[in-house]
Amino acid sequence: MNHQPRPLAPRSLAIVGATGAVGVEFLHCLAQRNFPVGKLKLLASYRSAGKTLPFRGEALTVEALTEDSFQGVDIALFSAGGETSKKYGPIAVKAGAVVVDNSSAFRMDAGVPLVVPEVNPETISGHAGLIANPNCSTIISMTPLWPIHQQNRIKRIQLATYQASSGAGAAAMEELVESTRAHLDGREYAPKVLPHPYAFNLFSHNSDIDPATGYNGEETKVMREARKIFGDPDLRISATCVRVPVLRAHAVAISFECERPITEHEARAIIAKAPGVKLVDDRARNLFPMPRDASGQDDILVGRIRQDVSDPSGRTIALFAAGDQLLKGAALNAVQIAEHLVKAS
């Protein structure tokens, strides 16, 4: 006799930053994945209060975020920036909610799990009310590397990211569209959100640069978070993060060195079976991961898998990946964490 799995009990959820680009994707992911939502509160700033957003055929009204917003909430999904998370995250936890936070506010706190469900789901159970969602570039870079790391320890990683406007929010996405339109029309366009002209241009990631190291904030996040997620403080990693004129999918070029020799065929076979990734590696057609194809997909696209010929020892592989920054890079990863919380309760 076939036994159907017992339906999961509905949970009371809150989305903080509901009207932002990631907040809207939270709603899509919850609906698409049939998350067991009982009550759903949409929270945002006072200026967004009163707006409505669609969810499962209903129009839900956005409420202003206050210190009293989390009574009766089981899980709170945050994506409203670090300052909001620092203020309201502990308030939500005190009210009894488990917070899954998309900002950098708590990622490197020793007592807060930093989770990619395909990599380290076992750390979720160690939470004390707060769980951190990693940086989008970290998720997209580390997810395809983890299964290789499990079989042949990765000792060193060098990566360069090509990051979409969505990582800087809905206003940056609009700036890319409007500046591109102005450029094509021959009109001047003064940047308002990002520090440099965006249309037909790329530039170093718009986070602050550490004058001592020369690394910007995004690069530092990726390096520190990768070590924490892999549970390897000795992982040697260097990152270069660049903003490119793409709407919502990040790409990354990675070269990684393993402890033992590894062939491209071995790496390809491991990645082809890895959860959360899709192999796109067609040399005959010169078809490899592209942001255009990754946009709207849950899986991270991985290809251009080849031996790094600069390493004569045969321990280094190069590859290229692309993943939707708003989905696996943000909202989807957080919803997957919430799914683990529900199943474990």
What pLDDT, in 10s, does the model give residues 320-336? 999 999 999 999 999 99
Confidence of residue 344 (pLDDT cuts 50, 70, 90): confident
With beta carbons less than 8 A apart as the criterion, state whether 74 and 129 touch. no
Query: How far apart are alpha carbons 303 and 312 in whole angstroms?
Result: 22
Is the pLDDT confidence value at 239 over 80?
A: yes
Query: Could you give the percent of the chain with pLDDT greater than 90?
Result: 96
Is the pLDDT confidence value at 175 over 70?
A: yes
Is the pLDDT confidence value at 228 over 70?
A: yes
Residues classed as catalytic = 136, 250
Model pLDDT, residue 176: 98
| Higher-pLDDT residue of 243, 3 | 243
Task: Look up residue 5 and give its amino acid.
Answer: P
Query: How far apart are alpha carbons 8 and 53 in whole angstroms?
Result: 25
Q: What's the average model confidence in pLDDT over 301-321? A: 98
Q: What's the average model confidence in pLDDT over 94-116? A: 97
pTM (2 decimals)? 0.94
Q: Retrieve residue 97's tokens.
A: 């909610």
Q: How many CA atoms lie within 13 A of 128 on its CB side?
A: 6
Domains of the chain: 11-133+330-344 (3.40.50.720), 138-325 (3.30.360.10)
Confidence of residue 8 (pLDDT cuts 50, 70, 90): low
Query: Could you give the percent of the chain with pLDDT greater than 70?
Result: 98
Is the pLDDT confidence value at 5 over 70?
A: no
Mean pLDDT value across the chain:
96
Model confidence pLDDT, tens digit, residues 83-100: 999 999 999 999 999 999
DSSP 90-149: HHHHHTTPEEEE-SSSSTT-TTS-B--TTT-GGGGGG-SSEEEPPPHHHHHHHHHHHHHH
With beta carbons less than 8 A apart as the criterion, state whether 318 and 302 touch. no
Q: What's the average model confidence in pLDDT over 121-146? A: 97
Task: Give which of 329, 330, 104, 343 is closest to 228, Cα–Cα.
Answer: 104
Task: Look up residue 244 and give its amino acid.
Answer: V
With beta carbons less than 8 A apart as the criterion, state whether 254 and 141 touch. yes
Is the pLDDT confidence value at 248 over 80?
A: yes
Model confidence pLDDT, tens digit, residues 188-217: 999 999 999 999 999 999 999 999 999 999
Model pLDDT, residue 144: 97
Planar angle of CA 57, 27, 113, nearest 5 degrees: 150
Is the pLDDT confidence value at 7 over 80?
A: no
Model pLDDT, residue 19: 96
Model confidence pLDDT, tens digit, residues 260-305: 999 999 999 999 999 999 999 999 999 999 999 999 999 999 999 9
Model confidence pLDDT, tens digit, residues 29-53: 999 999 999 999 999 999 999 999 9
Model pLDDT, residue 4: 47
Task: Give which of 128, 44, 134, 49 is closest to 90, Cα–Cα.
Answer: 128
